[in-house]
Chains A and B, each alone.
Chain A
Amino acid sequence: MKILLMGNPNVGKSVVFSRLTGVHVIASNYPGTTVTYTKGAMKVGDEMDEVIDVPGTYSLEPTCEAEHVALDMLQQGDVIINVMDATNLERNLNLTLQLLEMGVPMLVALNIWDDAQHRGIHIDLKRLEELLGVPVLPTVATTGQGIKELVVNIPNARAPKLPPHSADERWATIGSIIGQVQQVTHRHHTLSERFGDASVRPVTGALIAIAVLVGMFFFIRFIGESLITYILDPLFNILWSPVVLKISDLLGGSGFFHSVLIGNFTGGEVNYVEAFGLLTTGLYVPFAMVLPYITSFYFVLGILEDTGYLPRLAVLMDTILHRLGLHGYAIIPTLLGFGCNVPAVMATRILESKRERFIAATLISIAVPCAALQAMIFGLVGDYGIQYVAIIYGTLFIVWIVLGFIMNRVAKGYSPELLIEIPSYRLPPWRVMLHKLWIRHYGFLKEAIPIVLGAVLVINILYILGVFEAIANFTAPIVTGLLGLPKEAVMALAIGFLRKDVAMGMLAPLSLTAEQLVVGSVVLAMFFPCIATFVILIRELGIITMLKSLGIMIVTALVVGGLLNLIL
């Protein structure tokens, strides 16, 4: 039996799903967190049933890719758990009635029940059950309240089979249901509501946004650097270095295996960034340089996601993003891109038109460096002074604006207007937040570590075979002539296809000047997506659009890299 979790966006389907199946999915406080379906399993009675977390939809007429996914899933469901937001009963009933017209057995999880009570919204559950003809169970998914009763009632799901209604008839029915089941007690504005209004007012909103984004940047840097300085560097230097030196001794200090495992180091000290062995750089880059920033970035992003601030940022950014052929909501995939471009490109599914998705995905791939790359930029370029880091970010920001502006002029099609729901502010539910932080770490470790190690291995083998030399000589005119980098830097650019953090690491032993590092970082960020992003871009945009996007990336990277080389 297939059980579908359906409902409006941002009602808590993904949290319910995690509760039911124990499968890890990311949940946040903004509409459109889930853009594809996730399958899990749970035991109902004696049999194992498949449970599917479906993207949220406002109606059965899809307006974006995420909603298309939801409707495709609807065909396959045997039972629907319709998750409703108790604080938004009226609008949620609209989808509920449409689902009932489909004749699939359903039960209702009336979620966010605690918040409805705090807000003075009283719902007569018995009456609602009678009127809908299906079981209605109050739940608070973030704490787990009511989930057991929900599971017990799955076999009681009913399909009362409403006749099809026109929209007007449906709203009339909803009005009558609301009149019979809901009573609202008046109460005063809460502090969070006042803050909510301030953050979508032009002047205060802009000030809040600047404070939030700047604060976020420094907070991420502070946590990341602290983790590196006080935990990971000491771990590597005190605990791991003796092991590395021992292995180096055992391997005789040189030879093929020494190069691959340990790499080269001089003077008896392990230089983890430059050695380029599997056990040195291969471990140090992902664990001691990138992982701390994964932790700090996703911790801070999680707070922003779960408080409900992001849709407000979308409202503020709308005017600017319209100049780039997007609307405000594109800020959410863009921010996700600063963690990893892969989920960011996926998240462009919340945008309505193909044109918007093309522009957003291309801009993210070019101008939004992922956390791994940023960590390496901080680690390597930061040593020369924060002004060089600022040049890199400044350049990427200008490219984002200018390129978006041009694409808006050139790209065919239309970009629709913003139409979004703004969720209430709330304190981040810590369990959900920590769970999400864990999912993202696990994802990083699982996806990134094998590729990092693979990349280091490939680099060593190619180096030993002398392939590097040949390629470097071949591409020297572009790399040296146009970008002003030593010809060996081409290998870093090529390895950037596998992992950009490893690629940055390859620039370290080349004794570049600060200016050259800036050019290298910028070109590496823009030039080509890493393989994981490349695959997702093909899947999400289609091969032809992807090739266009790729062309834009390469041309932009060379032009901007060349210009930077001239200016700096």
Chain B
Amino acid sequence: MSPGKLVSLRQMQPGQRGRVVEIHGGHGMIARLGALGIRPGCRITKINSMLMRGPVTIQVGHTQLALGYGMASKILLELI
């Protein structure tokens, strides 16, 4: 499990699954994501992303979420 294998949510392909390792963001962003269940250790399946730096749609537990391109770039996962 070397850190080199981390990919961002943005780089993941639709259908891929990963476990969140790090979130690079300020306190506000980490709190907002955390309240929605996105935090280190949680499993995420990427569903889709929009063209032209559009939002990324993901599945966390039983919830589907959409988050902006910038945020998606700051969430790093290891693929599982």
Among candidates A88, A314, A419, residue contacting B32 with C-beta atoms closer than 8 Å: A419
Chain B residues positioned under 8 Å from A63 (CB to CB): 28, 32
Contacts of B66 in A (CB 8 A): 200, 311, 314-315, 318, 328, 418-420, 422
Interface residues of A in 46-65 (CB under 8 A from B): 58-59, 61, 63
Expressed in whole angstroms, the Cα–Cα distance for A63 and B60 within the complex equals: 21
Inter-chain CB contacts under 8 Å: number: 103
Whether A422 lies near B37 (C-beta < 8 A) is no
Inter-chain contacts of A59 with B (CB < 8 A) = 31, 34-35
Task: Please determine whether A421 and B64 come into contact, CB atoms closer than 8 angstroms.
Answer: yes
Q: In the assembled complex, which residues on chain B have CB atoms less than 8 Å from the CB atom of A88?
A: 61-63
Residues of A within 8 A of B54 (CB): 202, 315-316, 318-319
Beta-carbon nearest neighbor of B38 in chain A = A419
Q: How far is the CA of A167 from the CA of B57 in the complex (A)?
A: 24
Q: Are A91 and B67 in contact (CB under 8 A)?
A: no
Chain A hits for B36, CB < 8 A: 58, 91, 419, 421
Chain B residues with Cβ below 8 Å from A422 are 57, 64-66
Q: How many residues of B contact A (CB 8 A)?
A: 31
Return chain B residues, CB-CB under 8 Å to A315. 50, 54-55, 57, 66
Complex CA–CA separation, A316 to B66 (angstroms): 10
Q: B25-51, CB under 8 A of A: which get 1 and which 0?
A: 000100111111101010000011011
Give Cα A491–Cα B52 distance, bound, in whole angstroms.
47
Residue of A nearest to B49 (CB): A202
Closest B-chain residue to A327, C-beta based?
A: B68
The B-contacting residues of A in range 86-101, CB under 8 angstroms, are 87-91, 94-95
What are 16 A-to-B residue pairs whose CB atoms are below 8 Å?
A59-B34, A63-B28, A94-B37, A167-B34, A202-B50, A311-B66, A315-B54, A318-B68, A319-B52, A416-B68, A417-B55, A418-B67, A419-B32, A419-B68, A421-B63, A422-B66
Chain A residues with CB under 8 Å of chain B are 58-59, 61, 63, 87-91, 94-95, 119, 121, 167, 171, 196-197, 200-202, 205, 311, 314-316, 318-319, 327-328, 416-424
7 other contacts beyond A167-B34, A316-B50, A422-B64, with CB at 8 A cut-off? A58-B36, A200-B50, A201-B48, A319-B51, A418-B67, A419-B67, A421-B63
